[in-house]
Amino acid sequence: MIKNLAKNAQNAKDASRVLATLSTEEKNEALLAIAKGIEKNKAKILSANLIDIKNAKKNNLSHALIDRLTLTPKRIKNICKSLKQLTKLPDPVGRVLSKITRPNKLRIEKVSVPIGVIGIIYESRPNVTVDAASLCLKAGNAVILRGGKESINSNITLSQIMINSLSKTKVPSDSIQMIKSTDRKIVNHLLKMDKYIDLIIPRGGKGLIQFVAKNSTIPVIKHSDGICHTYIDKDADIDIAKAVCFNAKVQRPGVCNAMETLLVHKDIAKDFLPQMIDMFRNAGVEIRGCEKTKKLVSKIKPAKTKDWSTEYLDLILSIKIVSSEEEAINHINTYGSCHSDAIITKTSSSADRFLKEIDSATVYVNSSTRFTDGGEFGLGAEIGISTGKLHARGPMGLEELTTYKYLVFGKGQVRE
């Protein structure tokens, strides 16, 4: 098994060398071939997915989880639509990032190039199989996919269809590899293959991310949890505060950019919190509050220390009343996950301070954290939201799936 894995990784590396030399047209043709292959094999995909759904039900997985791994004709259609849209996006490879001619006439160009081989470790959604592979391919990278065991049948079928679809294109079929074993040991071996793999992107919960960070000798860009905050400053516009907080918590609570903790300045708490909590309760949101919140509004469950660092992904919200903006900032930098945090304020100096001191990928003034998303940011597509600080931070699109190299053009220059 391990020997196979090394061979697969080496094949991916070889394929990446070819991929790096292909034109935009050649890569787009491959993406269209994949879309065609998926459309043609819809029935096969749905029946593989049915096995995953049956197993999930047998194993008593939650309704939300089963929904996430379910493919429908409409969802398959959307996968194909995304593939076609991807062909319309500009090629991230070959951009001249900077250019300089030195006094000795040496001409130096910094140009974007593919990263090489990318390993993606993800959880239950089978559409990620196609999304991730196609984004990597468009950016000229080979990809090694390791999906969750819940959607293993869907993943194997989808990847086999993608690989078969490449056969009549210029993209080597080794550019897409799927790990079929669901044994976690295999991930541990994968994480040591720094000879062949250039980057690991883990997408999932804290457990997965920590396992990967601990065991990988390959650079990692983590896509971890989103413990997102909204801080209501003492002079906030209360209508804006209510609308933004409601949206950030309720519109889609199961995603990483939803609000998990609401921080409220003590001077505005009385005017704002009772109304806000009413709105939340009417929408079915469970409130867990600090001591001060409990004093202000009746029948609030107490928030424990653990709540401040919990990503509920559900209709649950922790609330804390703070004495100052500084306390809010410290709370966020201590318990947050460096994802997305917002301030609601009318004072520009408060906004400036928040923007400067909050150590997160995306910092908002007077708007909902729910906007942290490649599409909403105008990136066209995204492989996920990086919660790391190196190479890519926040929504990670096609450009972030490239690196650069320096090309130096001389006429015999030597160093003095």
Interacting stretch for its own copies, rule CB under 8 A, among 60-68, 287-295, 298-306, 365-373? Answer: 365-373
Per CB under 8 A, the list member of 128, 317, 361, 398 interacting with its own copies is 361
Residue 163: phi and psi, rounded to 5, are -60, -45
How many whole angstroms separate alpha carbon 86 and alpha carbon 287? 41
Element (H, E) at 400: none
Alpha helices in 167-233 (DSSP H): 184-190, 206-215
Near its own copies in 298-357, by CB under 8 A: 333, 355-357
Alpha helices in 216-343 (DSSP H): 238-250, 266-282, 291-296, 305-308, 325-335
Per CB under 8 A, the list member of 32, 89, 106, 279 interacting with its own copies is 106
CB 50, min distance to its own copies, A: 33
Q: Does 96 bind its own copies (CB under 8 A)?
A: no
Near its own copies in 187-246, by CB under 8 A: 194, 198-199, 210, 213-214, 217, 219-221, 237, 239-240, 243-244, 246
How many whole angstroms separate alpha carbon 103 and alpha carbon 109? 15
Of 153 and 372, which has the nearer Cβ to its own copies? 372
Per CB under 8 A, the list member of 4, 21, 85, 275 interacting with its own copies is 21
Per CB under 8 A, the list member of 65, 186, 315, 365 interacting with its own copies is 365
Near its own copies in 367-396, by CB under 8 A: 367-368, 370-372, 376-378, 388-391, 393-394
How many whole angstroms separate alpha carbon 197 and alpha carbon 194? 5
How many whole angstroms separate alpha carbon 280 and alpha carbon 283? 5
Of 9 and 163, which has the nearer Cβ to its own copies? 9
Per CB under 8 A, the list member of 2, 96, 283, 408 interacting with its own copies is 408
CB 344, min distance to its own copies, A: 8
Q: Report which of 82, 64, 203 is spatially closest to residue 147, judged by C-alpha positions.
A: 203
Near its own copies in 118-147, by CB under 8 A: none
Per CB under 8 A, the list member of 100, 284, 286, 299 interacting with its own copies is 100
Of 44 and 391, which has the nearer Cβ to its own copies? 391
Which whole-number Å values give the CA distances from 259 to 251, 252, 338, in the listed order?
Answer: 10, 10, 13
How many whole angstroms separate alpha carbon 132 and alpha carbon 126? 10
Count interface residues toward its own copies (CB under 8 A): 67
Near its own copies in 50-79, by CB under 8 A: none
Q: Does 359 bind its own copies (CB under 8 A)?
A: yes
CB 149, min distance to its own copies, A: 25
Interacting stretch for its own copies, rule CB under 8 A, among 17-25, 163-171, 178-186, 302-310? Answer: 17-25
CB 89, min distance to its own copies, A: 15
CB 200, min distance to its own copies, A: 10
Q: Report which of 304, 306, 301 is spatially closest to residue 286, judged by C-alpha positions.
A: 301
Of 103 and 284, which has the nearer Cβ to its own copies? 103
Of 56 and 212, which has the nearer Cβ to its own copies? 212
Three-state secondary-structure class, residue 92: coil
Specify whether the CB–CB gap between 226 and 311 falls below 8 A. yes
Structure tokens of 215?
């065991």
Q: Report which of 223, 224, 384 is spatially closest to residue 311, judged by C-alpha positions.
A: 224
Q: Report which of 390, 344, 379 is spatially closest to residue 246, judged by C-alpha positions.
A: 344
The side-by-side arrangement of strands in the sheet containing 228-232 is: 301-302, 286-289, 316-322, 259-265, 228-232, 340-344
Which whole-number Å values give the CA distances from 200 to 88, 91, 125, 292, in the listed order?
Answer: 26, 22, 18, 44
* Residues in touch with its own copies (CB under 8 A): 17, 20-21, 100, 102, 106, 108, 115-116, 194, 198-199, 210, 213-214, 217, 219-221, 237, 239-240, 243-244, 246-248, 251, 333, 355-357, 359-368, 370-372, 376-378, 388-391, 393-394, 403-415
